[in-house]
Structure 1
Amino acid sequence: MKILCIHQNFPGQYKHLAPALAARGHEVVALTLKVKKPTRWQGVTILPYDIRGRSAKDIHPWLQDFETKLIRATSCCNAAIALRKRGFVPDVILAHHGWGESLFLKDVWPQARMGLYCELYHQSLPVFTAFDPEFQRPQTQSDPLRLRLKNLNNRLHEEIMDAGISPTAFQAGTFPDHWQDRITVAHDGVDTDLVVPGPNATLTVTDGRVLTREDEVITFINRNLEPYRGYHIFMRALPDLLRRRPDAQVVLIGGDEVSYGAKAPDGTTWKQIFIDEIADRMPPEDWARVHFLGRVPYDRFLSMMQVSRVHVYLTYPFVLSWSLLEAMSAECAIVASGTAPVREVLTEGETGVMVDFFDTDGIVGKTCALLDDADARARMGRAARAFVRDGYDLHTRCLPRHIDWVEDLATRTPRPPRD
């Protein structure tokens, strides 16, 4: 079988799946912006494509997002036409369609089966658009209209989707009902043989201090430090948390950019905004116990999880972070926001404890309670790892499900592109 993978940041969600399909004898090719020249990676042929065109200066702001996706779609389509001229005809196209690249590929290969990675459908319900009043958009009456256009890429892809796959039931549930019978819920998986407890782990932090399991380490992770993942709430809890835990060391991982939601005001970052907000409540000796590591290699991320005594995870009702399941696999004791994506994987009092997203006092109180209860930390950590190994293990659960899904997809009658 010939398989084409489309991901602007390949391998992305196909990190394990693409090589596994190649190892099963399938011919796997990827089109991506990630490389500048053709290359081979774990049995996969990776081909570049270039962006051609640029955004218009005065386009309506609601259309800017789709125009960017359209430019990518036409650019990827041109690369696909060139690939077809060289004789490549895929049986299956696997695409993370969130950036638009795959929009016209059924026009190039009408008989290919299209399998989409269904990450999120934008919702206009108040639980999504007004979850955090502090950052609520002022034009709430126009949100349904704006989001309808933001979903234009999703809607056009639905017409050509033969099957979809979504990592969590919460994420799959954001898509309209008429998608649901074509979406399979299957997480990408956690390598629980790699993400393990580390009793002898060490982590060197910004001041050169080496932290171990003997230290009282509190951890917090965002891809980028921003409100969607509760950075502002955690920072507001930090002064009281450090005051109550004079021996604690707090370690934060995350960049200064924006992954989700609005950008910080010009010339600032969300990271600095909330550092400045709590500055007058934080004496220098407490700041010395706070360590911002930025973005780190995966092995350092694992070390952080392994030395963590309590891990705090906060999120809006949004895409679930892989890092929560990885923290569970490492047997972390977890304090998490009780939002819908978290409740899907965490059970109160069994695999972690939950708190209202906005409740800084609750975050402090539940973190301190766990720090004072070694037996509860050990019990919940073991249960969390067992839960992940049973339902989310990469090699025994998730990857086999994804492979079966792809090979079943190849047997389906393809949906043709529509006028």
Structure 2
Amino acid sequence: MNILCIHQNFPGQYKHLAPELVRQGHQVTALTPKVKKPTMWQGVRILPYEITGKSTKDIFPLLADFETKLLRATACYRAALGLRQQGYLPDVILAHHGWGEPLFLKDIWPEARMGLYCELYHLSDPLFSAFDPEFPPKVAADVPLKLRMKNINNRLHEEIMDAGLSPTRFQADTFPERFQDRLRVIHDGVDTDLVRPNPDAALTLEDGTMLTRDDEVISFINRNLEPFRGYHVFMRALPRLLRERPKARVVLLGGDEVSYGARAPGGQSWKQIFIDEVRGEIPDADWARVHFLGRVPYARYLALIQVARVHVYLTYPFVLSWSLLEAMSVGAAIVASDTPPVREVLEDGVQGWLTDFFDGPALVEKVSRLAEDAAARKALGARARAHVVENYDLRTRCLPQLVKWVEDLSARSSRPPMD
């Protein structure tokens, strides 16, 4: 079977699935702007395309988001048209449509079956659109309009979607009823053989200090340090946390950019804004125990969650981070926000402790208490790992389900594009 993968940051969510499909005997090709030249990766033929053009200056604001998706969709379409002219015919197209790329591919290959990675449908419910009152929209009345325009991309892709895939029930349930009969919940999977407890794990800091499981390490990890992932809540709790835990090392991973939500005002970074807010409350000696490592290679990230005495994970009601399940998989003792995506995978008092997203003092109290309680950490960590192994293991659970989903997709009738 010829399978075409579309992802703006390939492999992305196809990191494990694409190579497994190759091992199953399928011909897998990926189109992505991430590479500049054709290359091979684990048996997958990766082909580049270039996104040309740029957003229109001073475009009507409600059109800005969709225009960027149209630019990407058109660039991907042109690259795919070149493949079609060379005789390439995919049986199945697997695509993350969040950036718009696969929008016009059924116009080239109407008989191909389209399987979409359905990450999130934007909802105007205050739980989603006004969760954090500290960052209200500039014009509240415009929020439903903006969200509806953002969902144009989802709606147009629904017309050509033969089957959809969401990694969690929370994410799947954001999509309207018309998606649901074609939507499956299968997580990308956690490689629990690799992501496992390691009593000998060690993390070396920039000054040469080596942290091990004998040290009191408190970890906080996100792709970017920003409000959507509770960075502001964690930073405001930091002065008190450092006072109460005089031997703790607090290690934060994450970049200075924005993955979700609004950019920081005035060209600043959210990271620096909240450093500046709390720095005056923290003596130099305590600040020396805070370590911002930025973005790090995967092995270094893994070492951090393996040595952490307590791992903190906070998130708005939004897409669940891989890092939470991976922290569970290494048997970390976790304090996490009591928000819907977290509650799906972690039960309070069973696999970790939940805390109110906005309650900084409660966060400090629970982190401190867990840091003191070795028996609780051991029990929570063991149950957390067991839960991930049973429900999210890559090899025994998720990957077989994903392969079966692709096989079932290939047997469906294709939905042609609509005029």
Bucket of the pairwise TM-score, normalised by the shorter protein = over 0.9
CA RMSD of aligned residues (A): 0.7
Where does 1:85-124 land on structure 2 (aligned, <5 Å)?
85-124=85-124
**Counterpart amino acid of residue 185 in structure 1:** V
Cα distance in structure 2, aligned partners of 1:203 and 1:39: 33
Where does 1:304-319 land on structure 2 (aligned, <5 Å)?
304-319=304-319
Where does 1:76-87 land on structure 2 (aligned, <5 Å)?
76-87=76-87
Deviations 1:73-98 (A, max 9, x none): 11111111110111111110000001
Matched residue, 2:347: 347
TM-score (norm 2): 0.99
Matched residue, 1:282: 282
Where does 1:289-300 land on structure 2 (aligned, <5 Å)?
289-300=289-300
Cα distance in structure 2, aligned partners of 1:26 and 1:267: 47
Deviation at 1:40, TM superposition (A): 1.0
Matched residue, 1:271: 271
Q: Does 1:394 align with 2:394?
A: yes
Instruction: Verify the 8 A CA contact 1:52 1:75 in the aligned structure 2.
Output: yes
Matched residue, 1:191: 191
Secondary structure of the residue aligned to 1:9 is coil
- Across the two proteins, how many residue pairs are aligned to each other? 419
Secondary structure of the residue aligned to 2:266 is coil
Cα distance in structure 2, aligned partners of 1:17 and 1:289: 40
Percent identity for Structure 1 against Structure 2: 69
Q: Unaligned 5+ residue runs, structure 1? A: none
Where does 1:3-402 land on structure 2 (aligned, <5 Å)?
3-402=3-402
Deviation at 1:190, TM superposition (A): 0.5
Instruction: Verify the 8 A CA contact 1:219 1:312 in the aligned structure 2.
Output: yes
Secondary structure of the residue aligned to 1:335 is strand
Deviations 1:148-179 (A, max 9, x none): 00111110000000000000000001111111
Deviations 1:202-236 (A, max 9, x none): 11123321111111110000100000000000000
Deviations 1:50-95 (A, max 9, x none): 1122221121111111101101111111111110111111110000
Secondary structure of the residue aligned to 2:71 is helix
Deviation at 1:310, TM superposition (A): 0.3
Deviation at 1:268, TM superposition (A): 1.2
Deviations 1:102-151 (A, max 9, x none): 00000000000000000001111111111001111131111111110011
Instruction: Verify the 8 A CA contact 1:206 1:292 in the aligned structure 2.
Output: no
Cα distance in structure 2, aligned partners of 1:224 and 1:13: 18
**Counterpart amino acid of residue 364 in structure 1:** V
Secondary structure of the residue aligned to 1:116 is strand
**Counterpart amino acid of residue 221 in structure 2:** I
Cα distance in structure 2, aligned partners of 1:31 and 1:25: 19
**Counterpart amino acid of residue 401 in structure 2:** R
Bigger mean CA offset, 272-281 vs 379-388? 272-281
Instruction: Verify the 8 A CA contact 1:331 1:382 in the aligned structure 2.
Output: yes
Deviation at 1:266, TM superposition (A): 2.5
Cα distance in structure 2, aligned partners of 1:256 and 1:138: 23
Secondary structure of the residue aligned to 1:223 is strand
Instruction: Verify the 8 A CA contact 1:94 1:116 in the aligned structure 2.
Output: yes
Instruction: Verify the 8 A CA contact 1:200 1:213 in the aligned structure 2.
Output: yes
**Counterpart amino acid of residue 104 in structure 1:** F
Cα distance in structure 2, aligned partners of 1:169 and 1:284: 45
Deviations 1:315-368 (A, max 9, x none): 000000000000000100000000000000001111000000000011000111
Deviation at 1:13, TM superposition (A): 0.5
Deviations 1:277-324 (A, max 9, x none): 011210001101001100000000011011100000000000000000
Cα distance in structure 2, aligned partners of 1:52 and 1:215: 50
